[in-house]
Structure formats: C-alpha cells, structure tokens
Amino acid sequence: MSRPSTGWSGGAEWLRGEGEASDVVMSSRARIARNLAGYPFMTKATSEDRVQVLDLCRRRILSDEFKRASGAESVMWVDLHDVDKLERQVLVERHLISRQHARGKLTTGKGGADQPRGVAIGLPSERVAVMVNEEDQLRIQVIRSGLALSQLLEQIDRIDDALEQGLDYAFHPRFGYLTACPTNIGTGIRFSVMLHLPALKLTGEIERVKRAAEDMSLAVRGFYGEGSDAVGDLYQVSNQTTLGKSEHVLVHELEREIVPRIIDYERHARRTLLEKRRAATDDRTNRALGVLRTARLLGVEESMQLLSHVRLGVLLGLLEGVEQQRVNHLMLLVQQAHLQCSATRELSQQERRIERAKLVRKSLGGT
Amino acid sequence: MLCENCGQHEATIHEVLIKGGTKMEKHLCEVCAQVAASEPSSNLPINELISKYMVSPGVHAGEASEAREAPAPTVCPSCAMTVREFRQSGLLGCPVCYSVFEDQLGPLIERAHEGGACHVGKTPRRALDSGRERGDVERLLGDTRERAERLGALRKQLTDAVEREQYERAAQLRDEMRRVASVLGGDVGGNAGDGEQA
C-alpha cells in the first residue's frame, strides 16, 4: 500500500483558494451515504459481513467506470485497519476520512482500530474520497475550493451511478436510500460549505449569523465537522434534513439563497472594518503576521487564529507579499499529524511547537 | 422602538429571520436577545428526537386502545435489533428495520427532517432501468398511492415557490414532478432518472 503521508506532492486541491466567492468560501463538499441491500448496517454487522462488504465495494471502486466517473488520474486504496494512527490522522486532517472512521468505532462505542474498513482517494487532486464501512457502508465525498455545489452534485451523481452499476443499494419507497441513522435517509446527501468568517467574528455578529442559519435548518460546525470548534474562524454550514427535498432543491437553497447571504454579511463586515476600524484592523493583521514571522513556539490553535487574521489582511489589501494560497496551505500544514509526518522521529509537544514555529517562519519569510 | 418582548427597554438588536420561506423581523433589547440566544435551537440531536418523538408501545394510551389488536413490533426479525437498543444508540440494524418499525419511526423521522415524510429525489438508476416489470418499479418507488402522495407534496412545494416568486426553484420542482409523474403514469421504461444525467 502507498503511504498516505509520503509522495503526495499536489493534493488537497480544495485549499487552492480558487473558484466562486473564494474570498469567503474556502471549499464546498458533497457527501452521500449508501448501504447495500441484503447486509446488516454496521451496528449489527459481523466481522464476516464487514469483510464481504469491504470486498464488494473495493472491487467496484477499483473499476474503470469508477475512475472515469471520479475524473481522477488514479485511485489509491487504503486499508485503514492496516495503517498506523499517525497516517489515519493525516487523512483526517486532509478531510479525506472522518474522525470516527479513523478510530473505527461507531458512536455506540462498538468496534476499534482493527475493524475491516478502508478509504479510496482520487489522486492527485484528492477531490474524491469514498469511505467503506464507516457508520454507513459507503460514504462518498467530493470536495472543491470555492462555492461549487452544482458541479459537486453533478460529479457525485456520476460516481454514485458508477458504483451502483455493480452494487445493490438498500432503498425504501417512502424513506429513500436507507442509512444506519434515520437522520440521513432519503437522498442521503449532505452538502457543506466551509466559510472563513473572521470579520463577522471581529464585529461580534457571528452568533447572530449562526442562529439565523440554524433557524433555516442548517447545521453550523467547526473546521473538523461535528463536535469540533471553529478554529481559525472557519465554519461549516450544511443541510440538516435529507428527506422530502430533492438534491437539486437542496443545492438551490444553499447555493443561491442561503450561502450568498452569509457571504454578503461577511463582505459587509470586512468593508466596515476597513472604513470604520481601519487602524485597528491594520494593526491586528500586521501584528498577526509579525508574530508568525518571529515566534519560536506555536500551538495549533494560536497558529490557526493568527493565520486567519493574516488571510483577512491579505484579502483586505493590508498585507503585501503574502499569497492567500500559501496561508490556506499553512492552515493544513500546522496540524499535528502533518507536522509529525514531516519529522523523522516522534516529537514531544514542545518539539512540535518549535517545529511548527520554524515551518511557519520559513514559509512566511520570517527571521 | 421598544423591545417587542418586554416592551420596556429600547430595542437595540434587530434581526431578520427567514424560516420556511417566511420573513420574520425581531426587535429585541439586549437582555431579551441574550435570553433568546441561550434557548436551544430547533436542531435537536438524534437522542433527544428519539426520547421526544418516537412512538413507543403503551405511551399513547388513547391511541393504543384502538390499535391494541396489533401491538407494535419490538424486535427486527432480520437482524434482531430491538427498539430499546435503537433508543440507546440512535442507529438501526439493517434495511429491514425501516419496514418493521415504520409506524414507530414515522413521527421521529418527520420531526428530524422538518416535516419531510416521503423521499423526493434520486432513485437507484440501474435498478430502475433493469426493472421493467411493474412489480419491480413498485418495490423501488412504492405503489401508485405512495407515488401520488409524493407528487402531491411536490405540487404543494411548487405552489409555495410560485407564491413567493422563487421561479428558479419552481422550475426545479416542476422538473422533479415530471420525473415522478413519468413513472406514475405507467411509463416505467427507465424514465425516472432522465433530465440531469450526463
């Protein structure tokens, strides 16, 4: 098996900072949940069931039809029960598997790291990932930078059809595609948009936006999904309901009605910062860059917060000589497992803080 | 302007909420706004939904007396998942569970999906294309009554969208209705997935 942590030169295309509204929208993601007819869900699956499902799905995923539909140059398969914790953590940080899939445990506590499960990753872009034997047997994900839900729906639809060519999905006339948790049934699709909202945070309006989004049946979560904090002022907005609305209607609501409104809010708040609090904003963003260029010890959260302010400064034209894409990528590279991977031996917490500071200084032209 | 909640203090927080397509304005003073913010949102986690909305045998005594001749099933014959286990974990055991526990799950599912009770959207394409017999189509998409219900739900959403002048959305709903109707009318030759396929 290829080591996920090495030889990935390009990758994580969703951090490129391209596409529609990329000043506010970091990335868009679509994910569908599917299960096979005739097999129990993970809660009741025996080891033999899991192995069989894994085998069936892997064969389908490694087919030419899948590769064509995914648009990837090659598809890498990773048996997660065979790789160590660090490599699984790298995949989590790259948003290619969920934290739950890394642990191999269901929310019930059942399972463990040795449970037969895997992930397929479309290379080199890492736009497509398919988890097998997570909470549902198949979780297909496509991700892109910028606001791109319509394109994602088209792509995920093709991938789903390619997989279904050789698999029998569990489907119910009333409840649609069946999933282990009743909150995912129907289309089984969840769209999410990762937004960078530093100005709304600074002007104190973020709570209002969060409440308004929740009132519109949307979930607002942090950088790493359910239960994670909004580090670096990054928020994920996603649909809560999957039954009773078609995929197209959901895309329309999010992409044309709801997300543009949040984008406008953030842009308005950024203008306000420039017009009414220019000196303070100039100071804050320059200080953030100054700290990142000179600090000798850096923690993850502190780095993320400072990078968020630097990104804001770059977008407001207050900081020169720093590229937005570089800042985006640093948000990934400062994460714990990525940092550990670039070292040749295991680092203590203090050593990681030293290495992180060194990496950031070097990348941002510090001293 | 005074706070619309307490009517005593100046309203300093002004919010425009769009819920279910209806625009609502809120004008609150700081104190009332804080109280409002601390109230739980409408998005309940699965465990809370289960405890509040899952119909369990014997809970609704009045309704149960009418349906006493057919007690609700408590265990899935296919995977041995019990209602009790589901209540604890929020996860079902197999596809058959949905049919076995359909009546008990109904209210919970409707609440979890903001009133959505019936699937609208994609159906397994290959299964539908290869299943030319009416029986196969019904197994996948439900019988005529169920499909008519789905069409009714879509029609209602379409009327709402037109009333609110959301024409782009209305057009999508109309396409969706065409897809459902093409199967409903007996034209079962694999037309359910037409339209957006590349």
Helix (H) or strand (E) holding A301: helix A300-315
Q: How confident is the model at residue B130 (pLDDT cuts 50, 70, 90)?
A: low
Of A24-33, A65-74, A103-112, B86-95, give the lowest mean pLDDT range: A103-112
pLDDT surpasses 60 at B25? yes
Instruction: Tell me the pLDDT of chain B averaged across its residues.
Output: 72
**H or E segment and range at residue B117:** none
- The predicted pLDDT at position B46 comes to 75
- Which residues in chain B are closer than 8 Å to A157, comparing Cβ atoms? 122, 196-197
Joined tokens for residue A357: 């500071």
* pLDDT tens digits for range B132-153: 566 666 666 677 777 777 788 7
* Cβ neighbours of B108 in A, within 8 Å: 182
Could A253 and B98 be called an inter-chain contact, meaning their C-beta atoms sit closer than 8 Å?
A: no
* Residues A37-96 pLDDT 10s: 999 999 999 999 999 999 999 999 999 999 999 999 999 999 999 999 999 999 999 999
**Mean of pLDDT values over A124-152:** 96
- Indicate if the alpha-carbon torsion angle B85, B89, B93, B95 is positive or negative: positive
Q: Distance of CA A97 to CAs A78, A105, B23, Å?
A: 11, 13, 38
- Mean pLDDT is lowest, of A3-7, A67-71, A111-115, for A3-7
Which chain A residues in 118-147 lie under 8 Å from chain B, judged by CB atoms?
Answer: 135
- What is the SS3 assignment for A289? helix
Residues 6+ apart with CB under 8 A from A39: A45, A49, A52, A53, A137, B94
Lowest-confidence pick of A64-68, A240-244, B68-72 = B68-72
Contact A75, A10 (CB under 8 A): no
Determine the pLDDT at residue A5. Answer: 42
Mean pLDDT of A300-324: 95
What's the whole-model pTM score? 0.81
**Whole-angstrom Cα distance, residue A131 to residue A135?**
10
Q: Which one-letter amino acid corresponds to residue A153?
A: L
Whole-number Å distance between alpha carbons of A101 and A118: 9
According to DSSP, the residues that pair with A144 across neighbouring strands are A28
Q: State the Cα–Cα distance between residues B166 and B18, nearest whole angstrom.
A: 14
pLDDT score at B59: 46
Among A59-63, A196-200, A263-267, B172-176, the range scoring the smallest mean pLDDT is: B172-176
Interface-testing mutation among B35, B91, B179, B196, with chain A (most A C-beta atoms within 10 A)? B91
Residue B35 pLDDT level (bands cut at 50, 70, 90): low
Closest residue in chain A to residue B21, using alpha carbons only? A216
pLDDT band at A161; cut points 50, 70, 90: very high
- pLDDT over 70, % of chain A: 95
DSSP of A157-188: HHHHHHHHTT--B-EETTTEE--SSGGG-BT-
Tokens of A67: 């590769």
Interface test with B, best of A50, A163, A248, A253 (most B CBs within 10 A): A248
Q: Is A268 on the interface with B (CB under 8 A)?
A: no
Range in A104-108, A207-211, B155-159, B186-190 with the lowest mean pLDDT? B186-190
Residue B43 has pLDDT above 70, yes or no: no
Q: What is the pLDDT of residue B159?
A: 87
User: What is the layout of strands, in order, in the sheet containing A118-123?
Assistant: A74-79, A118-123, A128-132, A138-145, A25-34, A189-196, A234-239, A218-221
Of A74, A60, A79, residue with least CA distance to A122: A74
Q: How confident is the model at residue A119 (pLDDT cuts 50, 70, 90)?
A: very high
Q: Of B114, B125, B157, which is closest to A217 when you measure between CB atoms? A: B114
Round the average pLDDT of chain A to a whole number and report it. 91
